[in-house]
């Protein structure tokens, strides 16, 4: 439980419950699902709907009262002033009272329907965020971040507002039109039918428009995504654009995407305008009919002027809801498209999650084993790892070398289960990594990734990212080991310096060292350095390595590197090629073997001689 | 037994608390959202975008006026119809006329509303796209130092959010012209129908203004807070999406979820407060409507009694009063839309006004393919901020056709130096010359065409392999692309991708290994076919064997071109004609491999650490290097 600024108690348990509830109702249509979900706030929803009904009934009373007042005035004129002022005064007071009450209930209606929307928005947002964090690498590999952001912002908004702009409006409009129709029908059937003659037209038009709007919404959203992708990648890759003077090229891409989106946006305006204009027109048409027929009735003495006036007032009151019908249609169309996409995202099965009742990983010896591990990426034609087996004990360092694409990073990503193996298994102290809880596994394994992602926050927070409770001394120690402390202390704001997005204000090597420091704060049983010193000079790297060695005694360290001097102290070096280990042994053993490793070594140590790796390997 | 010592990561041991060193999102509080509702300078800038469509705007304003007039006329016609002959046994010709007039007015109303809405809607969309394009085009020109400091998400929110609120404003502003006219029209009609009654009815208005005076300041604050917390939450969400791999890697999901919940919950509270402020006006306006109607009934009724008023006038009055408060309500709403639009407009103009601090001179010359390809640094001083120089008085010259290597400890300024060759940034003093011309005297376009770069951080676009390698070199054929891919040794893996050269890359090339991404970005630089090739750690993530293949291929490819190579792996630079050693922003030595080895300076030390012996490096050597590289 925490207390927020407003002093309210907010329970964390609720947050989890909201997430669970958002997942309920799989398989139902998006509109049903969001409607049911909105009803999780039964009191607020009931208040909103109840107030809507009362407010609209009151709204219908007003023309009655007005008609009554007009009749009274007429009566005064006809019959003289006996007690008339009194009567007028009372009808004025009723009018006032009803107006005030209507205002109050409209307030309740609007506030609570918005409130339901805000609550739903808050809860769905939590569910969305939670899902994003749970979906595995393989999902995020395929889906553009911009598209996800659209789902989390725009689609969620469309759903959130459905209660207020869709459901409550349905109630409002049905009451207004339903009760109103009843009242009119009981007054004068013919006139009432004329007054309501616009309803079927409007209903028909709305459903047509709903379908068209839905379709345009869907494609428009796609076009806009494409457009924002162009913009986002342009800004993210601005250095490439500049380096190649690609501005014109990028503008052409932008124009292409933009033109398509613009055409659709126009189309949408058209559909909408055609719809609302038609609705208004058919409404006025009905009003004209009432005027004509009603007028004739008055002339024929079949109806009082007051009744006609209340008929017409009733219709003016309907004018607003009729316009709103268009909005309601739009809201339905929007909520159903947005809902389709939002729920499709939420219902996504998790490729990687805890098996039910998965035990914690218990690290005892700290032995990592790969047993005939196979792995292919989805849709790939070749396996990326093809029968990899090795064992590493605590205190040991395993070096991994291999050409780009030979599967080194993939191997590293399998240990903390960023992907699941397609065959064989990986164990830590005999426990299959896919059988233990993800949290315990990921805490036991730290991977310094090949391309380091930094967050826009202070250097200190970046280093403490994996352990935000870490003490200052621990953070400094990690920075020292990563040979970054001196640099940081030289900055005007020291550890409080904010690093730019993805660390743009740092040099390549500084970024890598920051991400090394980030992992050094942790105390994992298995630590992987994935080519994480590539942009660091040999001197600095050496210092980092000797600093790290202090920690390494009780854990397995995997070092992936293209620089063989980094692997020199490894107990075993694995040479990967095409997803298979083709050579394995200590540095000396591999040199003595005279194979591929030897050839690589020669290339790096005797740069001026021409060494043919192909022939050496044979 | 092995114990994981001091694992204080467990959130469970600090129930309900937030870690001291954690945050999600990076939102800085923006300037006041609800600024002035009217800012002539911004309006002028916005008008510049609307101007091309002004005819349509005029047309729709005219349509709005007609529309408003018909709205006003309708109750009048009804009142007239009732008064003239709508009594028992009255004249039905009069009624017929009234209905006919009504029909005509309704048709006009229909046409006007159609014209107005569709014209305005289209103009608003067009203006939106134009503004977005103008901003996007401007961002292609602003300096990188601005881009470094500005997050992509922040710019995107200007390109999308701000532009959208401008659109909303444009769509509603024409309607509010109508509202204003309607309001004035109603006032006039009421006063002419019956001056005394009209005045009495309108006397309720000042109450509304007084209420608003008290309501506005706290309401503004509430709306601002709601807006602000909303963008904070959105920012945190975007960060969660972009950094999801790292989040999972470092097992931060739980902490982040709670932190996000804090922000989202706070947003919920401020939104609710905002709603309360917005809705509280509803009963006030409704009560005023009620009062006005009551006045008409009581006062109007007694006037009728004295024979001073016709009943039709009362009916018309009641009609108008109900209409009267609609435009007020929507104008109130329009007011806040307008405030928001002004802020957005200001932010949009801010982007448009970011000085493109790096501009072509009016008489800038275009570098051509047959320039000599030399690069010279003359006493270059450069820093990202004025007081912290990154390069200090660096001078060197790379002769045409030469390949020069830049080495130095991390953070010594190598990448920065190469950025200057491309004029990503301006030097603080001194000069950088390319092909004998100061880079400030040549067009940036031609500079980009003659200097091709492989950046330290490979960046690929979503799209096919082919499109990525070709990028903007439209003249490159498929053969050129394949030749470049072969030269960097990427051909084999490309053909193995599903789809080969037409295989699709995901965002930033995430379905390739980092080395493969680097190879593609290398191939892209080769296809650009430039006179000068800059390789910034182009092979850092590539094995020595592949690198050797590339070097062999480059021997022929670089014939007649100038090369500048940055590398940490010294084997990478073995082919260089000359080596420049940078340390801490200073050029400390230069010469070829043998000369530098003989000199026994930093290069020799670095080189020895790398290769001389694979035994432990003696500590004193490390200490020496430490002393020199202390500040990196
Ligand atoms: N965009 C930037 N804004 C502010 N400071 C920067 C920026 N880019 C680099 N720096 C700083 O300038 C210095 C030199 O960085 P540069 O990238 O030139 O180093 P480098 O020699 O390329 O290092 P590395 O080998 O690690 O890539 C570093 O201290 C770095 O933090
Ligand atoms: N997310 C992915 N989806 C599909 N294929 C992938 C994905 N990531 C990598 N691959 C492919 O799997 C193979 C192995 O990639 P991996 O990243 O493991 O290579 P690596 O050995 O780490 O290479 P490098 O030295 O370049 O880092 C490559 O052919 C690559 O194209
Ligand atoms: Mg890799
Ligand atoms: Mg660099």
Short-list A268, A258, A255, CA closest to A218: A268
pLDDT for position B438: 94
Among the ranges given (A379-383, A445-449, B356-360, B537-541), the one the predictor scored with the smallest mean pLDDT: B356-360
Pair B432, B420: CB distance under 8 Å: yes
Task: Report if residue B243 sits inside a domain.
Answer: yes
Same domain? For B507 and B557 the reply is: yes
Q: Which of A213-227, A578-592, B417-431 has the lowest mean pLDDT?
A: A213-227
Nearest CB among A236, A498, A607 relative to B152 is that of A236
Cα–Cα nearest to A232, from B160, B237, B126, B512: B160
Are B86 and B180 in a shared domain?
A: yes
Instruction: Give the pLDDT confidence score for residue B518 in this predicted structure.
Output: 92
User: Residue A159 Cα, ligand 3 centroid: separation in angstroms?
Assistant: 41
How many residues in total does chain B contain? 632
Cβ–Cβ < 8 Å for B453, B527: no
- Atom 18 in ligand 1: residue holding the nearest Cα: B413
Q: In what order do the strands lie in the sheet with A397-402?
A: A445-448, A526-530, A556-560, A397-402, A572-577, A580-585
* CA of A488, nearest ligand number: 1
* Closest CA relative to residue B569, chosen from B551, B586, B590: B551
Q: Which of residues 179-218 of A touch B (CB under 8 A)?
A: none
Query: pLDDT class for A330, splitting at 50, 70, 90?
Result: confident
Model confidence pLDDT, tens digit, residues A363-381: 998 999 999 999 999 888 8
Average pLDDT, chain A: 87
Q: Which of A280, A266, A272 is nearest to A208 (CA)?
A: A272
**Cβ under 8 Å to A: B residues 179-208:** none
* Distance in Å, alpha carbon of A26 to nearest chain B alpha carbon: 23
CB of B514 sitting under 6 A from ligand 2: yes
The answer on B210 and B185 residing in a single domain is no
- In this predicted structure, the answer to whether residue A421 has a pLDDT above a threshold of 90 is yes
The residue contributing the CA closest to ligand 1 atom 27 is A508
Pairing of strands B532-536, B586-591: unpaired
Domain A368-452+525-608 has CATH 3.40.50.300: yes
Query: CATH number for the domain including B146?
Result: 1.20.1560.10
φ and ψ of A399, to 5 deg: -95, 145
Q: Which residues 328-357 of chain B have a CB within 8 Å of chain A?
A: none
Residue B328 is assigned to a structural domain of this protein: no
Q: Which atom of ligand 2 is nearest to the CA of B493?
A: 29
**Residue B317 within a domain:** no
Task: Judge whether residue B626 has pLDDT over 60.
Answer: no
* Same domain membership, residue B184 and residue B201: no
For the segment B263-275, the average pLDDT, to the nearest whole number, is 93
The verdict on B525 and B461 lying in the same domain is: yes
> Per-residue pLDDT for B36 more than 70?
no
Question: Among all ligands shown, which has an atom nearest to the Cα of B518?
Answer: 2
Instruction: Kindly calculate the radius of gyration of chain B based on its CA atoms and give it in whole angstroms.
Output: 36
* Structural contact between residues B345 and B166, judged by C-beta atoms closer than 8 angstroms: yes
> What's the gap in Å between A377 CA and the centre of ligand 2?
9
The pLDDT tens digits for A241-266 are 999 999 999 999 999 999 989 998 88
pLDDT (average), residues A160-183: 85
The answer to whether residues A428 and A509 touch, using CB atoms and an 8 Å cutoff, is no
Residue-wise pLDDT tens digits, B132-144: 999 999 999 888 8
Ligand 1 pocket member A483 (CB < 6 A): no
Same domain (yes/no): B114, B88: yes
- Residues B132, B134, B135, B140: is their CA dihedral positive or negative? positive
Q: Model confidence over A500-553: pLDDT tens digits?
A: 777 778 998 999 999 999 999 988 999 999 998 888 887 788 888 888 887 777
B392 φ, ψ (degrees, to nearest 5): -120, 110
B73-97 pLDDT tens trace:
887 787 777 776 566 666 778 788 8
Distance CA A121, CA A486 (A): 46
B273 shares its domain with B217:
yes
**Minimum-distance CB partner of A231 among B14, B136, B244:** B136
The total number of structural domains that make up chain B: 3
Q: B96 lies in a domain?
A: yes
Domain co-membership, B200 together with B190: no
Report the C-alpha gap between B94 and A605 in whole angstroms: 109
Flag whether residue A78 sits within 8 Å of chain B, measured between CB atoms. no
Q: Say which CATH superfamily domain A12-188+328-349 falls into.
A: ABC transporter type 1, transmembrane domain (1.20.1560.10)
* Interface contact A447-B249, CB threshold 8 A: yes
Q: What is the pLDDT of residues A400-413, one digit of tens each?
A: 999 999 999 999 99
Ligand 1 proximity of A504 Cβ (cutoff 6 Å): yes
Q: What is the per-residue pLDDT across A77-98, written as a single tens digit (0 to 9) for each?
A: 676 656 677 778 888 899 899 9
User: Do B186 and B219 fall into the same domain?
Assistant: no
Q: Which of A94, A173, A123, A137 is nearest to A22 (CA)?
A: A123
Give yes or no for B121 touching A (CB within 8 A).
yes
Closest ligand 2 atom to residue B512 Cα is: 31
pLDDT computed for residue B462 by the predictor: 92
Whole-Å CA distances, A499 to A472, B26, B491: 18, 11, 37
pLDDT of residue B512: 93
Q: Does the distance separating the beta carbons of B2 and A292 come in below 8 Å?
A: no
Chain B contact for A531 (CB, 8 A cutoff): yes
Q: Which of A297-306, A318-327, A576-585 has the highest mean pLDDT?
A: A576-585
| Residue with token string 């937030």 | B18
Ligand 2 pocket, residue A330 CB under 6 Å: no
Residues paired with A325 in a beta bridge: none
Please report residues of A whose CB lies closer than 8 A to that of B383: none
A452 lines ligand 1 (CB under 6 A): no
Mean pLDDT score, B535-559? 84
Question: What angle do the packed helices B195-202 and B281-295 form, to 10 degrees?
Answer: 160
The predicted structure's pLDDT at residue B27? 61
8 Å CB contact between B147 and A238: yes
For the Cβ of B541 lying below 6 angstroms from any atom of ligand 2, the answer is yes
A123 CB-near residues (< 8 Å, 6+ apart): A18, A19, A21, A22, A37, A40
Q: What is the pLDDT of residue A1?
A: 38
B201 CB within 6 A, ligand 1: no
CA distance B585 to chain A (A): 13
Query: Under a CB-based contact definition with an 8 Å cutoff, are residues B95 and B81 in contact?
Result: yes
Using CB atoms, pick whichever of B16, B85, B86 lies closest to residue A2: B16
Question: Quick one: B201 and B123 in the same domain?
Answer: no
Identify the bridge partners of residue B535 per DSSP, sorted by sequence position: B454, B565
Q: Give ipTM to 2 decimals.
A: 0.91
CA distance B1 to chain A (A): 5
Place of tokens 């219902």: A347
B19 contacts in chain A (CB < 8 Å): 464, 468-469
Q: How far apart are CA B111 and CA B60, in angstroms?
A: 11
Domain membership of residue B414 as a residue range:
375-631
User: Per-residue pLDDT tens for B170-216?
Assistant: 888 877 888 888 888 888 888 988 888 888 888 888 888 888 889 88
Convert the pLDDT of each residue in A144-156 to its tens digit. Answer: 998 998 899 889 9
- Name the token pair of A447: 């991977």
3-state SS class at A618: coil
- Based on the fold, state whether residues B159 and B213 are members of the same structural domain: no
A594 within ligand 1 shell (Cβ under 6 A): no
Question: What residues contact residue A159 under an 8 Å CB cut-off, 6+ apart?
Answer: A30, A34, A120, A124, A335, A338, A339, A342
**Alpha carbon of A152: minimum distance to chain B alpha carbons (Å):** 8
Same domain, B179 and B43: yes
Quote the minimal CA–CA distance from A142 to chain B in Å. Answer: 6
Beta bridge partners of B464: B504
């Amino acid at each position: 439980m925490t207390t927020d600024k407003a002093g309210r108690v907010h329970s964390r348990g609720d947050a989890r419950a909201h997430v669970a509830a958002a997942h309920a109702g799989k398989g139902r249509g998006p509109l049903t699902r969001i409607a049911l979900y909105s009803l999780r706030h039964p009191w607020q929803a009931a208040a909103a709907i109840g107030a809507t009904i009362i407010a609209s009934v009151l709204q219908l009373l007003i023309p009655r009262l007005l008609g009554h007042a007009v009749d009274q005035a007429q009566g005064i004129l006809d019959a003289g002033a006996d007690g008339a002022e009194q009567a007028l005064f009372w009808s004025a007071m009723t009018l006032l009272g009803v107006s005030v009450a209507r205002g109050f209930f409209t307030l309740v209606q609007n506030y609570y329907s918005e409130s339901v929307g805000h609550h739903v928005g808050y809860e769905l947002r939590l569910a969305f965020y939670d899902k994003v964090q749970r979906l595995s690498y393989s999902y995020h590999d395929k889906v553009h971040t911009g598209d996800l952001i659209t789902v989390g912002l725009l689609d969620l908004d469309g759903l959130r507002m459905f209660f207020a702009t869709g459901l409550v409006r349905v109630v409002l409009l049905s009451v207004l039109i339903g009760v109103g129709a009843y009242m009119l029908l009981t007054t004068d059937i013919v006139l009432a039918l004329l007054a309501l003659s616009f309803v079927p037209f409007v209903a028909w038009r709305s459903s047509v428009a709903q379908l068209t709007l839905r379709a345009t919404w869907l494609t428009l959203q796609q076009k806009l995504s494409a457009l924002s992708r162009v913009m986002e990648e342009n800004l993210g890759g601005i250095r490439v654009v500049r380096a190649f003077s690609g501005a014109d090229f990028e503008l052409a891409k932008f124009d292409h995407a933009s033109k398509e989106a613009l055409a659709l946006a126009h189309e949408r305006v058209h559909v909408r305008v055609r719809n609302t204009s038609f609705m208004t027109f058919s409404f006025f048409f009905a009003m004209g009919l009432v005027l004509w027929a009603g007028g004739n009735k008055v002339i024929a003495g079949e109806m009082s002027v007051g009744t006609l006036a209340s008929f017409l007032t009733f219709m003016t009151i309907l004018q607003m809801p009729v316009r709103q019908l268009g909005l309601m249609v739009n809201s339905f169309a929007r909520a159903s498209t947005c809902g389709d996409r939002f729920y499709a995202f939420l219902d996504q099965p998790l490729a990687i999650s805890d098996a039910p009742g998965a035990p914690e990983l218990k690290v005892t010896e700290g032995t990592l084993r790969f047993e005939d591990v196979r792995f292919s990426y989805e849709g790939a034609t070749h396996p990326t790892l093809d029968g990899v087996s090795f064992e590493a004990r605590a205190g040991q360092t395993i070096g991994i070398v291999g050409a780009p694409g030979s599967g080194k990073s993939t191997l590293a990503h399998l240990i903390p289960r960023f992907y699941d193996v397609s065959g064989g298994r990986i164990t830590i102290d005999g426990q299959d990594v896919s059988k233990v809880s993800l949290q315990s596994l990921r805490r036991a394994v730290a991977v310094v990734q090949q391309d380091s992602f930094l967050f826009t926050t202070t250097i200190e927070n970046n280093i403490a990212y994996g352990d935000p409770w870490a003490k200052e001394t621990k953070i400094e120690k990690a920075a020292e080991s990563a040979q970054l402390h001196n640099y940081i202390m030289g900055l005007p704001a020291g550890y409080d310096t904010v690093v730019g997005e993805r660390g743009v204000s740092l040099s390549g090597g500084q970024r890598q060292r920051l991400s090394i420091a980030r992992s050094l704060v942790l105390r994992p049983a298995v630590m992987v350095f994935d080519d994480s010193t590539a942009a660091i000079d040999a001197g600095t790297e050496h210092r980092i390595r000797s600093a790290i060695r202090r920690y390494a005694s009780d854990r397995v360290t995997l070092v992936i590197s293209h620089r063989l001097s980094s692997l020199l102290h490894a107990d075993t070096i694995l040479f990967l090629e095409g997803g298979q280990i083709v050579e394995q042994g200590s540095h000396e053993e591999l040199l003595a073997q005279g194979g591929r490793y030897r050839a690589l070594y020669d290339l790096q140590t005797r740069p001026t001689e021409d060494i043919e790796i192909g022939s050496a390997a044979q | 037994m092995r114990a994981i010592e001091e694992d204080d990561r467990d959130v469970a041991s600090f129930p309900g608390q937030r870690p001291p060193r954690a945050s999600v999102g990076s939102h800085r509080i923006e300037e006041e959202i609800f600024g002035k509702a009217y800012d002539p300078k911004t309006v002028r800038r916005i008008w510049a975008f609307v101007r091309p469509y002004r005819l349509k705007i005029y047309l729709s304003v005219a349509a709005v006026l007609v529309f408003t007039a018909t709205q006003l006329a309708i109750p009048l016609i009804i009142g007239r119809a009732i008064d003239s002959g709508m009594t028992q046994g009255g004249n039905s010709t009069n009624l017929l006329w009234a209905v006919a007039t009504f029909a005509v007015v309704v048709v006009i109303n229909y046409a006007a509303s159609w014209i107005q809405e569709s014209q305005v809607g289209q103009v608003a969309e067009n203006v939106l796209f134009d503004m977005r394009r103008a901003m996007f085009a401007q961002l292609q020109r602003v300096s990188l130092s601005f881009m470094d400091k500005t997050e992509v998400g922040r710019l995107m929110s200007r390109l999308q959010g701000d532009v959208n609120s401008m659109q909303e404003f444009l769509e509603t502003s024409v309607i509010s012209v109508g509202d204003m006219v309607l309001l004035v029209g109603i006032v006039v009609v009421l006063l002419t129908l019956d001056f005394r009654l009209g005045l009495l009815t309108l006397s309720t208005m000042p109450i509304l203004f007084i209420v608003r005076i008290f309501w506005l300041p706290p309401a503004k604050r509430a709306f601002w807070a709601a807006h602000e917390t909303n963008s904070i939450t959105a920012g945190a969400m975007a960060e969660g999406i972009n950094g999801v791999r790292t989040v999972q890697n470092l097992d931060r999901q739980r902490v982040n979820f709670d932190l996000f919940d804090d922000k989202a919950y706070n947003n919920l509270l401020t939104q609710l407060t905002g709603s309360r402020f917005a809705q509280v006006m509803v009963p006030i306006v409704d009560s005023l409507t009620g009062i006005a109607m009551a006045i008409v009934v009581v006062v109007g009724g007694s006037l009728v009694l004295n024979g001073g008023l016709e009943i039709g006038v009362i009916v018309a009055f009641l009609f108008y009063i109900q209409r009267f408060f609609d435009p007020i309500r929507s104008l109130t709403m329009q007011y806040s839309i307008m405030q928001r639009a002004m802020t957005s407009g200001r932010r949009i103009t801010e982007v448009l006004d970011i000085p493109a601090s790096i501009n072509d001179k009016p008489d800038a010359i275009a570098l051509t393919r047959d320039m000599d390809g030399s690069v010279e640094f003359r006493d270059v001083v450069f820093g990202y901020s004025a007081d912290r120089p990154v390069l200090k008085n660096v001078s060197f010259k790379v002769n045409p056709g030469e390949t020069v290597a830049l080495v130095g400890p991390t953070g010594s300024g190598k990448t920065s130096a190469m950025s200057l060759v491309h004029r990503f940034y301006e030097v603080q003093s001194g000069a950088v010359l390319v092909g004998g011309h100061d880079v400030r005297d040549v067009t940036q376009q031609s500079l980009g065409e003659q200097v091709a770069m492989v950046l330290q951080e490979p960046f690929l676009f979503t799209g096919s392999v082919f499109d990525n390698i070709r990028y903007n070199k439209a003249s490159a054929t498929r053969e050129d692309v394949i030749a470049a891919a072969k030269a960097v040794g990427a051909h084999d893996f490309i053909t193995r991708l599903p789809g080969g050269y037409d295989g699709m890359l995901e965002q930033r090339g995430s379905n390739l290994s980092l080395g493969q991404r680097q190879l593609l970005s290398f191939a892209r630089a080769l296809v650009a076919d430039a006179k000068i090739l800059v390789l910034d750690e182009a092979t850092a993530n590539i094995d020595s064997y592949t690198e050797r293949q590339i070097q062999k291929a480059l021997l022929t490819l670089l014939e007649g071109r100038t090369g500048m190579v940055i590398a940490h792996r010294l084997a990478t630079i073995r082919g260089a004609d000359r080596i420049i050693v940078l340390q801490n922003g200073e050029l400390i030595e230069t010469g070829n491999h043998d000369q530098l080895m003989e000199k026994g300076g930093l290069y020799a030390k670095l080189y020895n650490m790398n290769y001389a012996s694979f035994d432990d490096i003696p500590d004193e050597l490390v200490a020496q290097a430490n002393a020199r590289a202390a500040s990196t």
